[in-house]
Amino acid sequence: MNDTVWWGTYPEAGLGTPTGVGEGLWRQNPADASLALELPAPSFMVGHPSLPLLYAVSEEDASAVHVIDVAHPDAPQVLQSLVTGGSSACHVLMAPDSRTLYISHYGSGDLAVVRLSEDGRLLGDGSAQRFAHTGSGPNADRQEAPHAHFAGFGPGGHHVLVADLGTDELRRYAIRADGLLDDHGIAATLPGGSGPRHFVVKGEHLYVACELTSRVATLRWDASSGTAETIADQPATTVTPTSADANFPSHIVLHDDLLLVGVRGADVIALHDLSPEGHANYRGAVDAGHWPRHFAIIDDRLHVGAERGHEVRTVPLPDVLALAPEAEVGEVAELTYASAPMPSPAFVIAHPNVTTG
């Protein structure tokens, strides 16, 4: 077990403010957390499965992806950077063979494909492919255009699906043998104004965190058509918002038969148990700090980034898993946690699990 985890941060003034003002890559271990590398708004990262490399995207108007060597955790170094061609990159996904990155851009709404060499380096001087999209949704403030927010593999692993918050769609791209993509249209359309943000897959089901309606939608995948239909949805939490005028789900994680959903506004991590048939049943919620943007289960701990609270929390995972069902509607459980100050934490990832070299 490696006790090092890495955080990407926004500028201290928050998302949407000028970048390159001291934010970057933070290293946290059980003893402390400190800035290890300045980098413009690294809001999402993925680790290489066999090399000591992190790939971080900078959420800027002219977005870039960076290769970061973390072989020496005390002195991480940017090995390479590449401009992706889109704006406000907010998610990066790595192909199973570690030869391709798929980068979602919230601002420009497109998906970029970047090739990697066997040694983990970026290939070319730009994206190998970019897939634009058109459309909008009924929420005029947030859905005036496409907003690609997240990319994940569909059931079976044959497609990359993109959650488009702006058009209420899961866009579908078939994966070629070389990792490049073919646009295969729309896999699913959610109710207007849903704002699909992130999703997880278990078997034939997809569970979608819908930011704009604060609901979790359950979709069933049809492998023959490569499409999914909504079969159920429910509130992300029963907790009323306390730090905003509404609740806004952020991230969703699958742990065995449990869904964990970050909800900003209520400022909780909500737990939903999955039945053997795939139905999601709300259990309760845990206090997560002010504006939990991202969280991850790493070994036996739950790490939560409270973006507007400028704090990261570490909660023993067994305490989370043992949470009793809420005794009253809207109850929030208070669990013991360790806390460290950090300006505008946006993303957390484990130290790469290096298996070679």
pTM above 0.95, yes or no: yes
For the ranges 1-5, 12-16, 61-65, the one whose mean pLDDT is highest: 61-65
Measure the CA–CA gap between 314 and 74, rounded to whole angstroms: 21
One DSSP character per residue, 31-70 reads S-EEEEEE-S-EEEEEE-SSSSEEEEEE-SSS-EEEEEE-
DSSP single-letter state for residue 267:
T
pLDDT of residue 75: 95
Question: 353 falls in which pLDDT band (50, 70, 90)?
Answer: confident
Q: What is the pLDDT of residues 277-309, one digit of tens each?
A: 999 999 999 999 999 999 999 999 999 999 999
Q: What mean pLDDT is reported for the chain?
A: 96
Least confident of 1-15, 58-72, 101-115: 1-15
Is the predicted pLDDT of residue 356 greater than 70, yes or no?
A: no
Q: What is the pLDDT of residues 109-163, one digit of tens each?
A: 999 999 999 999 999 999 999 999 999 999 999 999 999 999 999 999 999 999 9
Above pLDDT 90, what percent of the chain? 95
Q: What is the pLDDT of residues 249-282, one digit of tens each?
A: 999 999 999 999 999 999 999 999 999 999 999 9
Q: Sign of the CA dihedral 221, 273, 283, 242?
A: negative
Least Cα distance to 346 among 320, 311, 302 occurs for: 311
Q: Where are the domains of the chain?
A: 236-357
Q: What is the pLDDT of residues 318-343, one digit of tens each?
A: 999 999 999 999 999 999 999 999 99
pLDDT of residue 204: 97
CA distances from 273 to 196, 295, 318, 324, 342 (A): 20, 18, 15, 12, 31
Measure the CA–CA gap between 239 and 303, rounded to whole angstroms: 21
Measure the CA–CA gap between 168 and 172, rounded to whole angstroms: 13
Least Cα distance to 112 among 133, 142, 98, 143 occurs for: 133
As a whole number, mean pLDDT of residues 14-22 equals: 90
- Residue 16, classified by CB atoms within 10 Å of its CB into exposed (0-12), middle (13-18) or buried (19+), is exposed
Measure the CA–CA gap between 232 and 91, rounded to whole angstroms: 26
pLDDT of residue 357: 38
Q: What is the pLDDT of residues 181-229, one digit of tens each?
A: 999 999 999 999 999 999 999 999 999 999 999 999 999 999 999 999 9
pLDDT of residue 354: 63
Is the predicted pLDDT of residue 73 greater than 50, yes or no?
A: yes
